[in-house]
Structure 1
Amino acid sequence: MFRRTFWFTAGAAAGVWATTKVNRKLKKLTPESLAAQAANKAIEAGHKLKDFALDVRDNMVEREAELGEALGLNAHPDAALPAGRRFAVIENTTHDSDNKKTQYLGTPRHSYNRNEDH
């Protein structure tokens, strides 16, 4: 008699456990539950994306500061400026000979007027 009671109790407990487990799975698969899960995942993904964007922004500011320091862009504006560059200027001298416009080395200088007949 004790055996029968033991197996009856074990079977009933297994049945209750299985029924509870199946009911929980079914509740997770209802449309409302699926929508809530999707919303929670979307919110979680949004938080992760926001954290990523903040990390990128922080690292970008840090890298810009490093580059500015390396290039000397963070120097005080009242500091002495380096001397300006000097450029060699070549004059374009023309001279007239025999009423022809010629360039410096004697090559003829042509007019580039589009309205002129050629």
Structure 2
Amino acid sequence: MIRRLAYLVAGAALGGYVVHKLNRTARAWSPAGIAGRVEDQVADYRAVLREFNEDIHDAMRQREAELQGRYDGGGERPALPVHTPGRVTRPRGAIDAPDMKDGR
């Protein structure tokens, strides 16, 4: 008799747990549950995009300040390009330049 009572209690507890899990799953897959999850994801994406936007604006402001300092006389002038061997530095297509196709 005690054995049957133990099985009855265990079955009732297991049944209650299964019903609880099924209700929870049904609520999660209901339209309201899906909308809540989507809303949470959108809020997370908005926060990440907001942080990314702030990082981009900070980097842009920093770069603008660097360029302003460099070109407004506050910093050193950018170095002129150095002649590298094998690189043609004479201008091409200049006015009055000899055109090789004419034989001049």
Q: TM-score, normalised by structure 1?
A: 0.55
The amino acid across from 1:15 in the alignment is G
The structure-2 alpha-carbon separation of the partners of 1:74 and 1:36, relative to structure 1 and needing over 3 Å to count, comes to: farther
Q: Which residue of 2 aligns with 1:48?
A: 48
Q: Larger % of strand: which?
A: 1
The amino acid across from 1:16 in the alignment is G
Structure 2 segments unaligned to the other structure (5+ residues): 75-104
Q: CA deviation at 1:54?
A: 0.5
Larger Cα-atom Rg: 1
**1 CA distance for matches of 2:46 and 2:73?**
36
Q: CA deviation at 1:68?
A: 3.7
Percent of aligned positions that are identical: 31
The structure-2 alpha-carbon separation of the partners of 1:8 and 1:67, relative to structure 1 and needing over 3 Å to count, comes to: same
The structure-2 alpha-carbon separation of the partners of 1:62 and 1:74, relative to structure 1 and needing over 3 Å to count, comes to: farther
Coordinate RMSD, CA, aligned: 2.1
Q: TM-score, normalised by structure 2?
A: 0.61
Q: CA deviation at 1:74?
A: 5.8
Is 1:16–2:16 an aligned residue pair?
yes
**Pairwise mapping of residues 67-78 of structure 1 onto structure 2 (< 5 A)?**
67-69=67-69, 71-73=70-72, 75=74
Superposition misfits of 4+ residues, deviation over 6 angstroms: none
